[in-house]
Amino acid sequence: MRRGFLLATLALLLLLSGLFPDVAWAYAVPPTEEDRPATHTVAAGETLFSIAKRYGVDVTTLAQLNALPNPRQIYAGETLLLPLPEGYPRADWQSHTLALAETFALLAQRSGFDWLTLARANRVLNPERVTLGQSILLPPQTTSLTVHIAPAGETRLTLALRHALPYWQIAQLNSAPLYAGAAWVAPGAAASNTLPYPITALTLGPQPVTRGEATVLSLETAELANCSITYLDQTEACYRQDATHLFAFVSLSPMLDSGEYKVALTVQYAGSEIALDLPLLVAPGRFGYERIDVSGSLSQLMDASLMEAERNALDAVADLRTQQRYWDAPLDFPVQAAISSYFGSRRSYGGSYNTYHSGVDFRAGTGTPVRAPAAGQVVLAQKLAVRGNAIMVDHGWGLISGYWHLSQIDVAVGDWVSRGQIIGRVGNTGLSTGSHLHWEMWVDAKPVNPLQWVEPFFPIPPAANAEAAPSLE
């Protein structure tokens, strides 16, 4: 009877093996090194000896690895670590159960090991396919990270702002854009330790920055340091606020394509240097279109070579990087008058829209006083063919302002001016079709939207020298 049952079972097994040849013999072949998992969950009836035999490992090693006081006492459902092949770091590695939103890349980043080493040490063939609850062997943690769930409407940028974390750090840890309910990770209690020495705080904001505007890099260091940034093939040295605070500006042409760019930061300290790449998100912004009809004697001023020569002269003046800062943000308006044309408007002078308005126009009557929006030194004060009577003021830290089409110039090159001081009068000189003030603001030798500077767009601490230029009364 019993014998007949066994035969029937064997016959059934043989039949099944014929139907499912891969399945029937799977357990007959010991798992290879490549297939061996990092852990084994003890099934009912298994012993340490049977497990060791199954994976082709030594019982003593298995007992030691799992710190088993009595190798006979293992329990069904218990997770055992399996030894790793030679050549993999494992001395004090611990089993870690994969939590919500944890990825292999994240674990690797936290462990300080590269992704491939970690995958090999765990014999994970496809690190993209690790699942929630899976056990992964990890070296002792070098960085603490916490997992959060994103509320509706949250972006990586708003998270960075709300949690007072550098945007680049959030972006680096969370590569995909967020959606409501998505898990995201942030540096935990040891957040400040994740910034490479000597950096203790770092922001590049506001972001995204609208093209045609400026954004600010703010760096705090543990010891005296210097820094520089490189963006769009332009390198700018940082300006020093005090022994541990440095600032640099990123200024973007309104004609730049929107998208993600890179700001390469280099920090030099005590003979050493570190480099970091920071993401720079550029938003398209909205710009108007203006067609300007120029006729008669004014059209002569549209001569290409004449315009270029004048432009080159201004570029040379605007290419200043004065290390002292005389301005405090936000700046004042140079006149109290209605705006008739905004910065960045695409302009056509009787042709294609191949140029843009490089300043802000205020409609104001001839003779209206023009006041310095911040302290600084006059670096240009003369009559120009296209821009008419023009003034340029250097406010320090690469911030230069310009005032065109004036009827009267009240300052000379080299003069120091204070905030609110009258420097000239509104007029209609040069290439101008009516009395107005054209106000321009340059940062890193490029025109940017001046209206950004009359708002508190970034918390820059008061300047030691602001409103206290050398020869002011």
Binding site for Zn ion (CB under 5 A): 359, 361, 438
- The residue to which tokens 């998100």 are assigned: 281
Q: Give the three-class secondary structure for 210.
A: strand
The tokens for 285 are 């912004």
- The residue to which tokens 């959606």 are assigned: 179
Sign of the CA dihedral running 147, 153, 156, 162: negative
For 312, 320, 334, 425, the CA distances from 404, given in Å and listed in that order, are 16, 19, 12, 10
Q: How far is the CB of 398 from Zn ion (least distance, A)?
A: 22
Backbone phi, psi, residue 313, to 5°: -65, -40
Q: How far is the CB of 338 from Zn ion (least distance, A)?
A: 14
Q: Based on CB atoms, which residue is closest to Zn ion, 113 or 439?
A: 439
Degrees, nearest 5: CA angle 141-174-135: 45
Q: How far is the CB of 408 from Zn ion (least distance, A)?
A: 18
- The residue to which tokens 């009516």 are assigned: 434
Q: Based on CB atoms, which residue is closest to Zn ion, 278 or 301?
A: 301
Closest to 332 measured CA to CA, from 272, 373, 275, 393: 373
For 90, 158, 161, 210, 411, the CA distances from 165, given in Å and listed in that order, are 33, 10, 6, 21, 45
Q: How far is the CB of 451 from Zn ion (least distance, A)?
A: 13
Q: Based on CB atoms, which residue is closest to Zn ion, 211 or 387?
A: 387
Other residues' Cβ atoms within 10 Å of the Cβ of residue 91: 6
Q: How far is the CB of 255 from Zn ion (least distance, A)?
A: 17
Which ranges of 194-257 does DSSP label H, i.e. alpha helix?
none
Closest to 321 measured CA to CA, from 448, 444, 453: 444
For 39, 48, 57, the CA distances from 77, given in Å and listed in that order, are 12, 13, 20
Backbone phi, psi, residue 312, to 5°: -65, -40
Q: How far is the CB of 374 from Zn ion (least distance, A)?
A: 20
Q: Based on CB atoms, which residue is closest to Zn ion, 182 or 313?
A: 313
Q: Based on CB atoms, which residue is closest to Zn ion, 239 or 342?
A: 342
Q: Based on CB atoms, which residue is closest to Zn ion, 208 or 424?
A: 424
Q: In the complex, which residue's CB is closest to Zn ion?
A: 438
Closest to 54 measured CA to CA, from 64, 46, 44, 65: 46
Q: Based on CB atoms, which residue is closest to Zn ion, 167 or 362?
A: 362
Q: Based on CB atoms, which residue is closest to Zn ion, 211 or 436?
A: 436
Q: How far is the CB of 297 from Zn ion (least distance, A)?
A: 19
Q: How far is the CB of 236 from Zn ion (least distance, A)?
A: 26
Closest to 93 measured CA to CA, from 37, 140, 57: 140
Q: Based on CB atoms, which residue is closest to Zn ion, 361 or 415?
A: 361
Q: How far is the CB of 447 from Zn ion (least distance, A)?
A: 11
